[in-house]
């Protein structure tokens, strides 16, 4: 049975880590998650992904160390690496709805998402050093990008957990909401995102990724070298539909073309 459950709700794909209580990832679960994210990214009928965990205790414990100890120590995680954390192609926003403890790969996955909401009880940790390895599925550098450098270094070196309130204070978490409202708020955010033009959302994510480490001058220059989704947006009918709708005082009718 797959540890990943998916459900399409209108333009939203809900992906649930479904192996409670810890929702850990072995090789098969990683491949299934990668397939779900690929479906989100490539299906034009889908606009936003929401990822959460089953149960009321943990979002995900990350790598399934019990499976590793039992001999499942290969690295056939799928084309985008462990938990699909080596993706450079997402053009659909992913909202991470953290329902509990997110450690190791669970924290790394949250760090890779577009938006993060969490319950008050949620905590985030990277205990890899205490297990004899390092968080090289993106957590090491993404923690330093999404959090103050000294805070990220403390979490990485000591293994201590970041509370939801700390995460919001540092700008990593968008909102803290009661557990009973977690998915409702995630869907509200998704609905707000889908009001934007699909190609504009894709271009925004593409450009953000491409210019992340560039200076202002380099970023402006990068725009002129050609970016597929931005170029597609600027030549689309949707690029003209926004101004038309504004002048005609009506809601825009996006076609994604």
Joined together, the tokens standing for residue 40 give 């989100």
109 closest CA partner among 183, 33, 44, 170 = 33
- By the 8 A CB rule, do 194 and 9 touch? no
Catalytic residue among 7, 42, 75, 108: 108
Catalytic residue among 7, 128, 165, 212: 128
Whether 108 sits among the annotated catalytic residues: the reply is yes
Whether 123 sits among the annotated catalytic residues: the reply is no
Residue 171, by phi and psi: left (phi above 0), alpha (psi -120 to 50) or beta?
left
- By the 8 A CB rule, do 90 and 49 touch? no
Quickly count: other Cβ atoms within 10 Å of residue 235's Cβ. Answer: 10
**Which residues carry out catalysis?**
108, 128
């Amino acid at each position: 049975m797959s540890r990943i459950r998916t459900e399409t709700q209108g333009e939203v794909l809900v992906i649930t880590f479904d192996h409670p209580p810890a929702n850990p990832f072995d090789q098969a679960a990683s491949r299934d998650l990668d397939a779900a994210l690929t479906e989100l990214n490539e299906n034009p009928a889908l606009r936003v992904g929401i990822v959460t965990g089953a149960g009321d205790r943990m979002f995900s414990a990350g790598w399934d160390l019990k499976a590793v100890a039992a001999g499942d120590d290969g690295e056939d995680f799928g084309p985008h690496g462990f938990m699909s954390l080596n993706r450079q192609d997402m053009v659909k926003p992913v909202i991470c709805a953290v329902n509990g403890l997110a450690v190791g790969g669970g924290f790394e996955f949250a760090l890779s998402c577009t938006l993060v909401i969490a319950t008050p009880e949620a905590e985030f940790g990277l205990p890899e050093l205490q297990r004899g390895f390092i968080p090289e599925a993106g957590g090491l550098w993404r923690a330093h990008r999404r959090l103050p450098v000294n805070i990220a270094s403390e979490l990485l070196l000591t293994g201590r957990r970041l509370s939801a309130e700390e995460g919001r204070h540092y700008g990593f978490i968008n909102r803290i909401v009661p557990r009973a409202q977690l998915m409702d708020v995630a869907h509200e955010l998704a609905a707000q995102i889908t009001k934007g033009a699909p190609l504009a959302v894709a271009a925004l994510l593409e450009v953000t990724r491409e210019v992340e480490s560039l200076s202002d001058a380099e970023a402006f220059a990068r725009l002129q070298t050609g970016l597929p989704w931005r170029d597609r947006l600027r030549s689309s009918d949707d690029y003209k539909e926004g101004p038309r709708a504004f002048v005609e005082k009506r809601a825009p009718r996006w076609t994604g073309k």
